[in-house]
A and B are shown apart, each in its own frame.
Chain A
């Protein structure tokens, strides 16, 4: 190991981590991913890593890197690497939160209609196709311009861009570095939610912990209605990652890079493969922002139709948009020196403190809003970034609940009908494309998001601001 590996837990999460480790060490267990704890250690052994390999409280095993792992690599070290496994297959998967000036009482009477209207506007599920017409040329432009494309075409508002990480566009994107195959997969999928843990939820404010920060976000009272969109770059990002892994395996042999795990395929940042990956990853990130922007447009339409009011009058502003699967070039202080790093955040959200130059002017006093999506039927949270997080975790925090059971295990142990009934009992309207897959996403399959968030808050790497509770869920 080149640096230390650490992870944040409370008692309950600690038990889960060690249980995962014990299970994988039992004789006869084969296949699957390495346990998260081992993965954090393997990442700490990668060339060029600085500081430490950090596991956030929601950490669980994934491809190569654990999901909920952040790691920073020194841009000035010629040996330092970039790894697609450290970003994840769903490049720039992220969460966007819209506010409204409606209250729960306004929405409850037409909740079912509203849920249906959202479901009609936003296509969901595997193989879904979007309702915003796109040509191949539109796609090329969107990949290069990110949210600037959505702005130019009039799908979103100028303020949306202001309240988005990176202002919704990664400048180093180069669509020419993206394979035809990825573009073919991506073209019809723009403006669709996808499947897996992605969702669009109508939520209400359940608790406000930090009145002033909430007020800066336009959240004034309990019961205020919000819309949360959790989605990513769909098949496009998956293909970009797959293509890069193939190219990097060759580069590893050529440059004699050795890693502890075959899944940790990587390339030197300065090498052609490394640069190609960063450029195509940025294109995929732009794809995801356009995707979330298109769904923002569609959600606004759905609300406008149901309430017979313009989205403007409903005050449907974007509070913020975070990316939790991405690698970014950032500057951080290490041992009193300013260093330029490539920060990988996989299942980890950027959480910059107050006064950081890269966060929007409206949040300069409060710190960056951090959107933590729960699982279907559980709460979501808005946190804010802290100075302590900046020094301890390179300005990173958790991203969600994090799986506790594997997908296969969830399917074996749970019945989808029970899951749906339970949601209904909680008064949550639900629209799903494939009910048979909902048990994979049942709350029981995940760690408790409140545990995860409380651990981040207690550790001081981010601060609780708002708690949201779902009243309607749209899922793949």
Chain B
């Protein structure tokens, strides 16, 4: 709950917060006052910070009253939402210059231009749009025999698929088992099942058919594997030739 707002405020462990857990609720209220809201003077925060005390609730009510919180103190989720909103507003007020440029348009542009960055990832330093990176991807593609897409990030995705499925450690050791052996099927001579009137669209339709069949084959293989797994427990085939009788 409140994951987005907690993340925005840099609260530790925003994924694990539960509003119904008494202790984490109290801790969060104290943390918000201490770090973000700072309504009381430090020396006045004693009653609120005594999170282990039985009458913490009294101090909590008084605190909400002095903030002019319009929400019933017993509706904790609503109260927290309001407190978090307040904290976010203060946070923004303190750093207007930093956040001013964060318009919806800018954020969208940033998301489109590169894979989502994880803070600890060393690849973050890379500029995915730089000509060097683009060239590198295209060189890798031509070495691996992957068709180049106008968007080099799409090409990169295809390369990654090829490497994880065909060039994994497992596949390199046992190519016969991992890589499906089979004859190429002349798909462009096969019946598509419908006719668009445009040969290019027809071929695209055939490619889509193949991708669908590929997915379906993987699903069926997993189903078969599950059946075999169950069979190892249940199977016990028997025959008894004494029962047999040939008819007239």
Contacts and interface: CB of A to CB of B under 8 A. Distances in A.
A129 B248 CA distance: 11
A398 B104 CA distance: 64
A353 B193 CA distance: 8
A128 B246 contact: yes
Contact of A130 (B186, B187, B190, B244): B244
Given A154-B237, A361-B216, A364-B216, A126 B247 contact: yes
Contacts of B228: 158
B113 interface: no
A354 interface: yes
A153 B216 contact: no
Q: Is the interface of A mostly helix, strand, loop or mixed?
A: loop
A195 interface: yes
B224 interface: yes
Interface of B: 183, 185-187, 190-193, 209, 213, 216-217, 220, 223-225, 227-228, 230-231, 234-241, 243-248
Interface residues of A, number: 42
Given A130-B243, A301-B239, 18 more contacts: A125-B246, A125-B248, A128-B247, A131-B241, A131-B244, A152-B231, A152-B235, A153-B234, A153-B236, A155-B237, A159-B224, A195-B247, A212-B186, A216-B185, A355-B209, A362-B217, A387-B191, A433-B247
Nearest to B241: A131
Nearest to B210: A365
Contacts of A123: 244-247
A153 B245 contact: no
B203 to A, nearest CB: 15
21 contacts: A123-B244, A125-B246, A126-B247, A132-B238, A132-B243, A133-B238, A153-B235, A154-B235, A158-B224, A188-B243, A192-B247, A212-B185, A216-B185, A354-B190, A362-B217, A364-B213, A364-B216, A365-B187, A434-B247, A434-B248, A476-B247
Contacts of B248: 125-127, 433-434
A151 interface: yes
A365 B248 CA distance: 45
B246 A131 contact: no
A2 to B, nearest CB: 31
A20 B185 CA distance: 46
Interface string A286-310: 0000000000011001000000000
Contacts of B238: 132-133
A254 B223 CA distance: 47
A416 B236 CA distance: 42
B227 A158 contact: yes
Interface in A103-137: 120, 123-133
Given A152-B231, A216-B185, A354-B190, A124 B220 contact: no
